[in-house]
C-alpha cells in the first residue's frame, strides 16, 4: 500500500488561516466552511443531532433521509477541504463518496428496490438472440437484449432451486416464477440408478431427502400473456433445471466415463459414435415405479404443448445451472430427435460441465440445436470432466484433417470430452464488488453468474457502471466473498441503531 506523506510546508502555510477561540476548543477557520453555514443556529444543530441518534425502526424512507443528509454533509466537507487538490491520490475516494455513487450503492444494497431493465420488442430479433447465427456479433461486446434474456433465464433456474428447497422431499405446490406471464405446466423428476444402503437413512432420518432416488429437478413453463407473446414475437416454452442437490445426484456426477447414446449403429464400440457422461445420462434416462424417466416425461409434455399450440409460432428455451446445464443438453437433443414438428430449440446454460464427446457436439449442431454457455473463467466445474478437450474449431478441423496422434488418442479415450456451442466468458475479477480470490463455491454460484452477466460489457471493458441487479442476493449467499466495503455498508444499512460510515474504503476496487 502506498503511504501518503503530508506536505509539511503546505500545512504550515495553511495553519495561519485558522485561529483558536478562547470560548471553545475547536479550530475555527477565518472563512467558515460550507459544511457549517453561519445561518444555522444551535437549535437546528441539536435537532439534527437528535435525528441522527434516534433509533431506526427499519423504515426505508427514514433511512434514505438520514443517508441523504449524511451524504450532503460528507460531500460538502470534502469539497471545502479540497482533498483532491491536496492529495491527488485521494481523487478516487472523493468520486466514490459522491452523492450519485452513494445513492446508487444504496439502491443496489436495498432489498426492496430491485430495478428492472426495460423490455424491448423482440419480434424481429428473437431468432438471432436464440442463436440463428450462433450469436455472432452479440457476445463481445454483449448485446443489451441478450443480456436481459440471459438474466431472465437465470432467474427461471433460481425459481427451480427455490421450489426444490421449499419441499425437498416431495414436489413444490407453487413455483415462484420471476415472470408472471408464464405458467408452470409440468413438474420434472430425475431418478438415480445408484443404490445406497438402507442404514444411511436410519443414521440421519432428517436428511432422508438427500438419499431419495427420485427428486424434483425442475419444471416446464409456457408464456400465456398475449401482451408478452406479442413483445417476444412468439409463444415461448421454458424448461428450467436446477443443479446438484442430493447425495445420489452427487454420486452420479462422479461417474465420468462416456457411454454411447441410443443410436441405431451396428457397432456400439465405434469411437465415432456420440457419447455422453454416464452419470448425467443415468439421471436423464432412468425411471422408477413412482415416476417415469425425466426423458419420457419431458418429451411427452413438450409434444403435448406443441400440439396444443399448433399453428402458433413457438420456441423452446432449455436453461439450467451446473448439473441442470448438463441435463439441458441431453433434453435439447432428445426433444429435437423425438418431438414431431419440434420448434427451434435453444439452450442457455450457466456453469455447465462438459457432457459428451465431439461427436455429441456435432450431433446437436446437425439437429439445429443452438447452445450458449455462460462460463466464469474461475469456475472449475466448467473444466471437467475430461482429459483431452480442444474447443478451438479451427484446431479441431486441423486435427481431423491431419489425423494425428492426438486425434487417435481422443477418439479412443473414454474421457475424451468436448464442449458444445458458443461461449460467453465472464470473469470474477472484473467485478468491483467480489473479492478477486473468491472461493470455489462463489465462482460456481448462480447468483454470482447473474451478477457478472449483468455487469459484463465486453472482454476488454470494465464492469459497467449502470448495472441494475441488486447486490442483496449476492450478499445473502456469498457474504464472505464480497469485499468488506460492501458487507460493512450492508450491515449498517439493516442495523437498527446509529449508522456510521467511518470505515468506508476509498474505492470499490481496493
Angstrom CA distances, 141 to 146, 211, 376, 429, 460, stand at: 11, 44, 16, 18, 9
Residues marked active site are found at 322, 379, 444
Q: Is residue 505 part of a domain?
A: no
Angstrom distances, CA of residue 492 to CA of 52, 67, 175, 290, 481: 14, 11, 33, 50, 18
59 grid coordinates: 423504515
Coil vs helix vs strand at 321? strand
Please check whether residue 496 lies inside any domain of the structure: no
Neighbour-count burial for 165-198, b at 16+ CB within 10 Å, e otherwise: eeebeebbeebebebebbebbbbbbbbbbbeeee
Q: Where are the beta strands (DSSP E) in 177-327?
A: 182-191, 214-223, 235-241, 258-260, 275-277, 314-321
Q: What is the pLDDT of residue 170?
A: 84
The label of the residue with cell 423425438 reads 338
**CB contact set of 458 (below 8 Å; sequence gap of 6+):** 140, 141, 142
| Residue 126 domain flag | no
Structure pTM? 0.73
Q: What is the pLDDT of residue 400?
A: 46
Question: Is 100 domain-assigned?
Answer: no
Number of domains in the chain: 1
Does residue 151 contact residue 450 with C-beta atoms inside 8 Å?
A: yes
**Is residue 379 helix, strand or coil?**
coil
Q: Are 489 and 503 in contact (CB under 8 A)?
A: no
Asked whether residue 241 is assigned to any structural domain, the reply reads yes
On whether the CB atoms of residues 278 and 258 are closer than 8 A, the answer is yes
Instruction: Assess if residue 440 is contained within a domain.
Output: no
Q: By three-state DSSP, how is residue 286 classified? A: coil
User: Distance between CA 332 and CA 318 in Å, rounded?
Assistant: 7
Distance between CA 273 and CA 199 in Å, rounded? 40
Kind and range of the H or E element at 29? Answer: strand 27-29
- Cell triple for 480: 464472505
- Upstream peptide bond of 385 is cis (omega within 30 degrees of 0): yes
The C-alpha atoms of residue 226 and residue 255 are separated, in whole angstroms, by 45
In a domain, 494, yes or no: no
Contact 443, 376 (CB under 8 A): yes
Report d(CA 215, CA 235) in Å as an integer.
29
- CA pair distance 479, 490, nearest whole angstrom: 10
494-500-506 Cα angle (round to 5): 105
Give the three cell numbers for residue 277.
Answer: 457422461
* Residue 252 lies inside a defined structural domain of this protein: yes
Distance CA 88, CA 95 (A): 12
**Which grid coordinates are listed for 139?**
457476445
User: Per-residue DSSP letters for 163-183?
Assistant: HHHHSTTS--S----S-TTEE
User: Is the backbone of residue 171 left (phi > 0), alpha (psi -120 to 50) or beta?
Assistant: beta
Domain of residue 233, residue span: 144-393+404-426
Q: Which residue in this structure is represented by grid cell 470560548?
A: 23
Q: Which of 306, 307, 258 is nearest to 280 (CA)?
A: 258
**pLDDT score, position 386:** 74
The CATH number assigned to the domain holding 198 equals 3.40.50.1820
- Tell me how crowded residue 58 is: count the other CB atoms within 10 A of its CB: 9
Q: Provide the Cα torsion 315, 316, 322, 323; round to 10°.
A: -170
Type and span of the H or E element at 200? helix 199-203
pLDDT in tens, the chain (510 residues): 444 444 545 444 444 444 444 444 444 444 444 444 444 455 665 565 555 444 434 444 454 454 445 444 444 444 444 444 434 444 444 444 455 565 566 666 664 445 555 678 998 999 999 999 999 999 999 999 999 999 999 999 999 999 999 988 888 988 999 888 999 999 999 999 987 766 566 666 666 667 788 999 999 999 999 999 999 999 999 999 999 999 899 989 999 889 988 765 545 556 678 999 999 999 999 998 888 999 999 999 999 999 999 999 999 999 999 999 999 999 999 999 999 999 999 999 999 999 999 999 999 999 999 999 999 999 999 999 876 545 444 444 444 444 565 566 566 666 789 999 999 999 999 999 999 899 999 999 999 999 999 999 999 999 998 888 888 888 888 889 988 777 665 555 554 433 333 333 333 332
Amino acid at each position: 500500500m502506498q503511504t501518503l506523506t503530508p506536505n509539511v510546508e503546505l500545512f504550515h502555510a495553511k495553519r495561519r488561516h485558522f485561529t483558536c477561540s478562547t470560548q471553545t476548543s475547536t479550530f475555527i477557520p477565518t472563512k467558515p466552511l460550507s459544511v457549517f453555514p453561519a445561518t444555522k443556529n444551535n437549535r437546528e444543530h441539536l435537532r439534527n443531532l437528535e435525528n441522527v441518534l434516534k433509533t431506526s425502526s427499519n423504515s426505508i424512507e427514514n433511512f434514505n433521509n438520514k443517508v441523504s443528509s449524511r451524504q450532503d454533509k460528507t460531500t460538502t466537507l470534502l469539497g471545502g477541504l479540497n482533498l483532491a487538490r491536496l492529495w491527488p491520490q485521494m481523487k478516487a475516494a472523493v468520486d466514490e463518496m459522491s452523492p450519485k455513487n452513494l445513492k446508487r450503492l444504496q439502491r443496489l444494497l436495498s432489498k426492496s428496490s430491485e430495478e428492472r431493465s426495460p423490455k424491448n420488442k423482440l419480434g424481429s430479433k428473437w431468432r438471432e438472440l436464440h442463436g440463428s447465427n450462433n450469436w455472432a456479433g452479440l457476445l463481445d461486446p454483449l448485446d443489451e437484449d441478450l443480456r436481459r434474456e440471459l438474466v431472465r433465464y437465470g432467474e427461471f433456474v433460481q425459481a427451480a432451486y427455490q421450489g426444490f428447497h421449499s419441499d425437498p422431499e416431495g414436489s413444490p405446490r407453487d413455483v415462484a416464477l420471476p415472470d408472471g406471464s408464464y405458467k408452470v405446466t409440468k413438474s420434472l423428476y430425475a431418478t438415480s440408478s445408484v443404490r445406497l444402503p438402507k442404514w444411511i437413512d436410519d443414521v440421519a432420518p432428517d436428511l432422508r431427502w438427500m438419499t431419495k432416488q427420485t427428486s424434483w429437478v425442475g419444471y416446464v413453463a409456457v408464456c400465456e400473456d398475449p401482451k408478452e407473446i406479442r413483445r417476444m414475437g412468439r409463444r415461448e416454452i421454458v424448461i428450467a433445471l436446477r443443479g446438484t442437490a442430493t447425495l445420489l445426484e452427487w454420486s452420479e456426477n462422479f461417474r465420468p466415463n462416456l457411454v454411447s447414446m441410443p443410436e441405431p449403429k451396428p457397432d456400439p464400440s465405434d469411437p465415432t459414435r456420440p457419447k455422453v457422461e454416464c452419470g448425467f445420462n443415468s439421471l436423464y434416462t432412468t425411471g422408477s415405479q413412482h415416476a417415469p424417466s425425466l426423458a419420457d416425461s419431458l418429451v411427452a409434455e413438450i409434444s403435448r404443448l406443441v400440439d396444443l399450440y399448433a399453428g402458433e409460432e413457438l420456441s423452446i428455451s432449455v436453461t439450467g445451472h451446473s448439473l441442470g446445464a448438463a441435463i439441458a443438453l441431453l433434453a435439447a437433443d432428445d426433444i429435437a430427435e423425438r418431438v414431431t414438428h419440434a420448434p427451434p430449440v435453444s439452450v442457455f446454460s450457466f456453469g455447465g460441465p462438459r457432457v459428451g464427446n465431439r461427436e455429441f457436439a456435432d450431433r446437436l449442431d446437425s439437429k439445429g440445436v443452438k447452445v450458449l454457455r455462460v462460463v466464469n473463467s474461475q469456475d472449475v466445474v466448467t473444466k471437467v470432466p475430461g482429459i483431452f478437450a480442444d474447443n478451438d474449431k479451427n484446431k479441431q478441423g486441423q486435427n481431423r484433417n491431419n489425423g494425428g496422434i492426438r486425434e487417435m488418442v481422443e477418439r479412443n479415450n473414454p474421457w475424451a470430452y468436448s464442449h458444445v456451442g458458443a461461449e460467453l466468458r465472464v470473469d470474477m475479477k472484473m467485478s468491483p464488488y467480489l473479492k478477486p480470490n473468491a472461493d470455489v463455491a462463489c465462482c460456481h454460484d448462480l447468483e454470482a453468474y447473474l451478477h457478472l452477466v449483468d455487469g459484463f460489457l465486453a472482454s476488454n471493458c470494465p464492469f459497467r457502471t449502470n448495472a441494475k441487479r441488486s447486490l442483496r442476493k449476492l450478499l445473502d449467499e456469498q457474504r464472505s466473498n464480497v469485499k468488506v466495503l460492501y458487507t460493512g455498508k450492508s450491515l449498517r444499512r439493516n442495523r437498527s441503531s446509529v449508522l456510521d460510515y467511518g470505515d468506508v474504503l476509498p474505492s470499490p476496487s481496493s
